[in-house]
Structure 1
Amino acid sequence: MVDANNSIKTSILGWMVLCSLVIGSHCLSDSDYPWTYRCIQDTKDGPACQREETESNSTEKVPFNICILTCGPYASLWPYPSGRVELGQTLTGFVLDRMVFSPASLPGESNETLFRMVGEAESIFNGHIRALLPENHVDPPIPVRNVVIQLNIELSDTKLTLNTDESYNFTIISALQQVSVTISGKTFFGVRHGLETLAQLIDFDSERQHLQIVNSVVIEDKPMFRYRGLLVDTGRNFIPVSDLKRLIDGMSYNKLNMFHWHITDSNSFPFDARRVPQMIKYGTYGSEKIYTPEAISEFLVYSNQRGVKVIPEFDMPSHAGNGWQWGEKEGLGELSLCVNAEPYQDYCIQPPCGQLNPLNNNMYNILGELFRDFLDVFDKDVFHMGGDEISFKCWLKYPHIIEWMETNNKTIMDLWGLFQENALTKLKEANDGRPIDAIVWTSEMTSHAREFLSPDDYIIQIWSKATDDLSTGIYQDGYRVIFSNNDTVYLDHGYGPWRGNYVNPAVLIKTWQVIYANDILGQVENLVGREKMMELYESGKLLGGVATLWSEKGDKYNMDMKMWPRGAAYAERLWSNPPSRLNVTQLAYPRLIHQRERLVQRGIHADTLLPEACRYIWGFCDNNYS
């Protein structure tokens, strides 16, 4: 399994003697433990490393993390590759100073931005490998062996889009004095994923005191879904950009590529809209809880570098309260209705209420200015317009709305349609007429009034249950679709109500097993049949999914543990699309536990999945009641 020689043994024994002399009899090194680890292929959960006792000074001992590098068809890889995977069963030792990048092969038209991004990706990778080494580590004498990494990129793309090719090919070939790693992809973003894969094939061997790399690898990999995302809500509870960066880091470690930023809500409007400064004056929790264009711009660069596109959601016409109260004071009339109205049950689904006034032309002018502010900062190819939980009760409280409906012989759905058409027009105008994809949540409109939502303009994000047959018409009409089923991927569920005492069974916690089993293609097939499902998938209409973390009871302090490692489970579902016929944990559980440890090692405060002892004595903790 691993290289070993007498000089290494002598060096380790020497360090142990020094430790004993300096620290005393309580000094204990990894070499003192009597355990070695062996890959067991046929545990209940597939291949896993299991502890066995051996002589404490044996040079053949294999640490747990080193065993994992070659255990099973996917070893320590997360998410597992969707295509060809050939992993060698032996390792090669090396020291960090001998790992180098050859000059990257870039397209002839490559630009300064691409060159910088490649250099930064190499730096991030080096940081991950360096972090594997113990503090004050000194390399032992081992045979000279270079690890040379070659990156090949075909296209000059530097922005992630809905159509970016994220595939990559990957090889490791080992010779006597050199390990050659080649990562090739159409775009930077595919090659970046390849670097993450490489980092998962390297670890520090505490027995031999040097790094180990799998010495023979062939991988052909690409995501099964192009849209693989997480949502965080910063409208209800503010989350600083520094903490959102940590979320982006976690996404990059799991090859997730879309951050759905629910940035505004009726609770607050923390986006610093320079054309409409009244919004943050009336809509923020305090001067330090604002997202400035400068901070957002830097955050977008940070995210793009790590293979993540940031998609803002400006929720409307509902979920638009605080921030909109100033209209009457400035002679513009009520821009939003029912703002902070009580009792809230008479006006909206949850407090505080607020819903834009669809018959106030000044509101549309303000909306257009806000769109311009958003598009000055965020990418201009896709924008989330919200569109869920519209309260008819709110609008029907106002005489001018009832009068308009009666005079024009219109329904409440016609009024909503009027708003949607005007809002989309303002969005397109703000984008100077360039094409832009608008995303909306499923709603009464997507169920019963899709004539207001052209499939050419809109992507529909489904948040109803996976079995909800109201989605059937959306599939039949050929919309592009994103899945965020509330019965499977709502990460905020399960922590108790934030008002009242009633615990709704529908909002129990979504375990990683439920999330991992959320078979997107299967749920579509169940509603429209396999032939139609395959037609939608192959034509790119089934974009992917987003797991959501609404923040009624979430903030920067508990975001990580609610998001991870369940978000990692969803990442493998979206990247690899595991066959639904497999046991949900087959080939996943041991690797997910190791991925959780990797996240923690890299600074993510991920929730734990099991008692630590069970990780090391895999198989002995198995029963239906654990």
Structure 2
Amino acid sequence: MVLPNCRGIFSMLLSLWLLASTPVLAIWPAPSSISTGESTLWIGPLISVSYNGKPLPWHYGYEPQGLKFSSSEIIRGGVARAMENIVHNNFVPWMLYNRMELEATEPSLLKPKTFITHLDIAQKKPDTPKTFKPLAGEVDESYSLNVDKNGKASISAVSSTGVLRALESFSQLFYQHSRGNFFYTMSAPISITDKPEYDHRGILFDVSRSFFPVESVLRTIDALAYNKMNRIHIHATDSQSWPLEIPAMPELHQKGAYARGKTYSPGDLALIQRYAINRGIEPIIEIDSPGHFGIVALSHPNIVAGWKSTPWTAYCAEPPCGQIRLNEPSVDPFLDKLMDDLLPRLSPYTSYFHTGGDEVNFNMYKLDPTVGTNESAVIVPLLQKFIDKHHARVRKAGLVPMVWEEIPANYNVTIGKDVLIQSWLGDEAIAALTAKGHQVITSNYNYWVSVNGIWGRET
């Protein structure tokens, strides 16, 4: 599969951002420690690589295959991408210099050249199955990268994930020469030690309000890898559409997708998840509930209250409205069937499942024939029962539940200590939630959110 190249654009923008402090070197994110020199090194399309003392053959376009994850295969793919970015996706840094000054500043092609011809990779500890589906903080992503002025390059890391982060930094060392396909750094010797500041560094990607083809999701994962982020949170369904195919319940996407073909098949979902893990990124899928569930009324009207109720401002955060009925007997069999199909297809690739829980509108339950009131004294116990059962389904599949902050903070619903809380309404609630012993992701909606609401930063 050929994806449009966005690496050069990202590199150029990041290079400009760092221009003030490092005019000819742009390692992003800024590493924990970096030292550089003033010697020039060159790198070509052929470089030999060793991994833990053994040759590691690689070729451009390599993507790990098979059902199981292998450290050497993941690193082989990382080397192929790093070299692809250096040799095929690089750029001439003319914007980093004053007008017409680039050619006077970049190294001469006529002088003798010292090439990097070998990269030695050492992984200090073997990976475990948890390396590829970790809880936050379970993978050591630290690394060191060294390139001496004679062209000897080496990477040392605890995990294969750390090696991938080092390879991203390695690829960022080089620029393309203005005279053609020649690639250089003028900063040798280079020594970098780095580790992430946050255990969870991710993007929230909403594919339900706006459908994105698989290629766009994969391209987003590539962008996360360039930025050394480690989570992609996919908001898979909402009241606007249900693009996720559930083989046991095909009516959900058949009636809930925006259009024929605007869906993600089980094969698509597996591809997305594997593609992410091979880049050191954990996929987290969200099926929001009990709010943001209106679209299911098209296939299962008996479990949804207030579908398309008006005026929508009285019943939901945005139209079309619709929430899961809280006291309807057919809800549990529906969710059992849904989760029995979906969760086993997620659990090989992640340790988390996001159950949503945001923006539950109590007024909606005046329209729910099984509730008939908006009083908290009635609704909160029903919410508690709903969350308890739903999180039990998630745990049964070997996954850790995630919720939006409103569940514990606004609705006073008790959740397990294992549950990961995502806060989006601001920073005020985080101290209170962590004081109770909860782990919290901050996704403050005031930062890194696009105008159409499909992007959000998570840390």
Q: What is the Cα deviation at residue 129 of structure 1?
A: 1.3
Whether the 8 Å contact between 1:484 and 1:490 is mirrored in structure 2 is: no
CA distance in 2: counterparts of 1:125 and 1:173, whole angstroms: 19
Go from structure 1 to structure 2 and tell me whether the alpha carbon gap of 1:140 and 1:243 turns closer, same or farther (over 3 Å shift).
Answer: farther
CA distance in 2: counterparts of 1:253 and 1:380, whole angstroms: 21
Q: How does 1:434-445 map to 2 (within 5 A)?
A: 434=398, 436-443=399-406, 445=408
CA distance in 2: counterparts of 1:112 and 1:413, whole angstroms: 43
Aligned position for 2:48: 100
Q: Could you list the runs of 5+ residues in structure 2 that have no partner in the other structure?
A: 1-16, 55-67, 93-108
Equivalent of 1:173 in 140, 148, 155: 148
Q: Which amino acid aligns with 2:48?
A: V
Give deviations 1:473-532, integer Å, cap 9, x for gaps.
Answer: 212101100001122332337xxxxxxxxxxxxxxxxxxxxxxxxxxxxxxxxxxxxxxx
Equivalent of 2:418 in 457, 477, 480: 457
Give deviations 1:238-289, integer Å, cap 9, x for gaps.
Answer: 1111111111111111111111100100111111011112211221112211
Aligned position for 1:78: 28
**Match of 1:318, SS?**
coil
Q: Does 1:473 align with 2:432?
A: yes
Go from structure 1 to structure 2 and tell me whether the alpha carbon gap of 1:296 and 1:399 turns closer, same or farther (over 3 Å shift).
Answer: closer
Give deviations 1:117-153, integer Å, cap 9, x for gaps.
Answer: 2221111111111125789xxx978446343101112
CA distance in 1: counterparts of 2:199 and 2:290, whole angstroms: 28
CA distance in 2: counterparts of 1:357 and 1:133, whole angstroms: 53
Go from structure 1 to structure 2 and tell me whether the alpha carbon gap of 1:76 and 1:188 turns closer, same or farther (over 3 Å shift).
Answer: same
Go from structure 1 to structure 2 and tell me whether the alpha carbon gap of 1:46 and 1:421 turns closer, same or farther (over 3 Å shift).
Answer: closer
CA distance in 1: counterparts of 2:116 and 2:165, whole angstroms: 23
Q: Does 1:278 align with 2:251?
A: yes
CA distance in 1: counterparts of 2:356 and 2:82, whole angstroms: 36
Q: Does 1:489 align with 2:448?
A: yes
Aligned position for 2:335: 367
Instruction: Using the aligned pairs only, state the percent identity.
Output: 24
Aligned position for 1:377: 345
Whether the 8 Å contact between 1:364 and 1:426 is mirrored in structure 2 is: no
The range that moved more, 437-446 or 389-398, is: 437-446
RMSD of aligned alpha carbons: 2.9
Q: What is the Cα deviation at residue 208 of structure 1?
A: 8.9
CA distance in 1: counterparts of 2:53 and 2:343, whole angstroms: 33
Q: What is the Cα deviation at residue 102 of structure 1?
A: 2.5
Whether the 8 Å contact between 1:229 and 1:256 is mirrored in structure 2 is: yes
Q: How does 1:570-585 map to 2 (within 5 A)?
A: none
Aligned position for 2:409: 446
- TM-score computed with the length of structure 1 as normaliser: 0.60
CA distance in 2: counterparts of 1:134 and 1:285, whole angstroms: 39
Q: Which amino acid aligns with 1:485?
A: N
CA distance in 2: counterparts of 1:151 and 1:303, whole angstroms: 22
Whether the 8 Å contact between 1:311 and 1:382 is mirrored in structure 2 is: yes
CA distance in 1: counterparts of 2:447 and 2:116, whole angstroms: 46
Q: Paired residues, what number?
A: 407
Q: What is the Cα deviation at residue 207 of structure 1?
A: 5.8
Equivalent of 2:204 in 198, 220, 231: 231
The range that moved more, 205-214 or 362-371, is: 205-214
Give deviations 1:73-119, integer Å, cap 9, x for gaps.
Answer: xx31110112x32122322234433x32134448xxxx872222222
Equivalent of 2:215 in 239, 242, 247: 242
Give deviations 1:522-543, integer Å, cap 9, x for gaps.
Answer: xxxxxxxxxxxxxxxxxxxxxx
**Match of 1:183, SS?**
strand
Go from structure 1 to structure 2 and tell me whether the alpha carbon gap of 1:112 and 1:445 turns closer, same or farther (over 3 Å shift).
Answer: closer
Q: What is the Cα deviation at residue 209 of structure 1?
A: 6.6
CA distance in 1: counterparts of 2:245 and 2:212, whole angstroms: 15
CA distance in 1: counterparts of 2:205 and 2:119, whole angstroms: 35
Aligned position for 2:261: 288
Whether the 8 Å contact between 2:122 and 2:156 is mirrored in structure 1 is: yes
**Match of 2:294, SS?**
coil
Q: Which amino acid aligns with 2:184?
A: Q
Go from structure 1 to structure 2 and tell me whether the alpha carbon gap of 1:439 and 1:105 turns closer, same or farther (over 3 Å shift).
Answer: farther
Give deviations 1:582-617, integer Å, cap 9, x for gaps.
Answer: xxxxxxxxxxxxxxxxxxxxxxxxxxxxxxxxxxxx
Larger Rg over CA atoms: 1
Go from structure 1 to structure 2 and tell me whether the alpha carbon gap of 1:46 and 1:155 turns closer, same or farther (over 3 Å shift).
Answer: closer
Go from structure 1 to structure 2 and tell me whether the alpha carbon gap of 1:463 and 1:209 turns closer, same or farther (over 3 Å shift).
Answer: closer
Go from structure 1 to structure 2 and tell me whether the alpha carbon gap of 1:245 and 1:473 turns closer, same or farther (over 3 Å shift).
Answer: same
CA distance in 2: counterparts of 1:312 and 1:477, whole angstroms: 26
CA distance in 1: counterparts of 2:400 and 2:170, whole angstroms: 34
Q: Does 1:125 align with 2:82?
A: yes
Q: What is the Cα deviation at residue 155 of structure 1?
A: 1.7
**Match of 2:298, SS?**
coil
Aligned position for 1:68: 23
Q: Which amino acid aligns with 1:169?
A: S
Aligned position for 1:586: none
Equivalent of 1:309 in 258, 274, 282: 282
Whether the 8 Å contact between 2:343 and 2:394 is mirrored in structure 1 is: no
Q: How does 1:311-350 map to 2 (within 5 A)?
A: 311-327=284-300, 334-350=302-318
Q: How does 1:193-232 map to 2 (within 5 A)?
A: 193-206=165-178, 210-213=182-185, 214-232=187-205
- TM-score computed with the length of structure 2 as normaliser: 0.81
CA distance in 2: counterparts of 1:146 and 1:457, whole angstroms: 47
Give deviations 1:24-83, integer Å, cap 9, x for gaps.
Answer: xxxxxxxxxxxxxxxxxxxxx98639xxxxxxxxxxxxxxxxx833xxxxx31110112x
Q: How does 1:581-600 map to 2 (within 5 A)?
A: none
Aligned position for 1:3: none
